[in-house]
Structure 1
């Protein structure tokens, strides 16, 4: 089901970008979006709200771009989340598991209620499209700079 949704979204995105009639609401994943306030992250981050959930479509589709060496706090969602890395390199970790490097082309399926974090690597920005339900993100714990730095050191060169 998730794979089908991802294929549908990837196939439909060019239609939004290349539509010829200005009466349609257009968005583009090529846009950086708006600079995010440093509420649940450290460093530079931009959010591009591609599709907002409503009564007819119950998924948010957001592109997030993090500058190098940015952090994102631990959080979870009450629905599954799919992360599609479209540029750069970053880190991803679920609570109780080892952190991993994520790169352009990677797709992550995070199960509902799974505490996790994801952001750029120490030396690279990362941009990903996140697909998740319309319920708000549940922020659970601050990701400290010391912890992020230890992950960056551990994953350096992987």
Structure 2
């Protein structure tokens, strides 16, 4: 049994399968939008990752991304930097133009609130080899 399955019933709804962005993820993720005000130009969403799920490398242009970790265990890595192990209460700030990825550990569910401004540029997937290397360093 995977760790932290209880985050499926976290403080924010898990939301439906993240089909709109599925091509940018390895594994299954879920997305629940949290702010639905057309006057607000910053996206706010609860993203939940099944164990082993991660998004592709990506860059936010003309903006930023803030991750507020709410459940489980995950990873965040910027290109050229060591991966950071994430647990509830951690906060990640990704500045404009920084190539990065984030996702669950191999044996735990993971959730975070993503606050995002600007335009994402989706890049290559995090390879199984890259992901395994991060897991080995844990």
Does the alignment reach a TM-score above 0.5? yes
Residue 54 (structure 2) pairs with residue 74 (structure 1): no
Q: Does the 8 A contact of 1:81 with 1:111 survive in 2? A: yes
Q: 1:71·1:145 contact (CA, 8 Å) conserved in 2? A: no
- The 8 Å contact of residues 94 and 115 in structure 1, kept in 2 or not, is answered as yes
Q: Which residue is equivalent to 1:124?
A: 108
Aligned length: 126
Match of 2:17 in 1: 35
Structure 1 unaligned runs (5+)? 1-27
Could you say which residue in structure 2 is the equivalent of 1:48?
32
Higher relative contact order (CA 8 A, sep 6+): 2
- 39, 54, 63: which one pairs with 2:46? 63
Q: Deviations over 1:76-109 (max 9, x none)?
A: 1121111000001100001111111011000111
Deviations 1:14-51 (Å, cap 9, x if unpaired)? xxxxxxxxxxxxxx952111102331111121011112
Query: TM-score, with normalisation over the residues of structure 1?
Result: 0.74
Q: Once the 2 structures are TM-superposed, how far is the Cα of residue 147 of structure 1 from its aligned partner?
A: 1.2
Please, what TM-score do these two structures have when normalized by structure 2?
0.84
Mapping for residues 1-150 of structure 1, pairs under 5 Å: 30-37=12-19, 38-52=22-36, 54=38, 56-78=39-61, 79-133=63-117, 135-150=118-133
- The RMSD of aligned alpha carbons is 1.7
**Rg bigger for which structure?**
1
How many Å apart are 1:71 and its aligned residue?
A: 2.1
Specify the SS of the correspondent of 1:34: coil
More strand by share: 2
Gaps of 5+ in 2: 1-9
**Residues of 1 paired with 2:50 and 2:81: CA distance?**
24
- Between the aligned partners of 1:92 and 1:82, the Cα distance in structure 2 is 12
Q: Is contact 1:53–1:59 with CA below 8 Å preserved after alignment? A: no
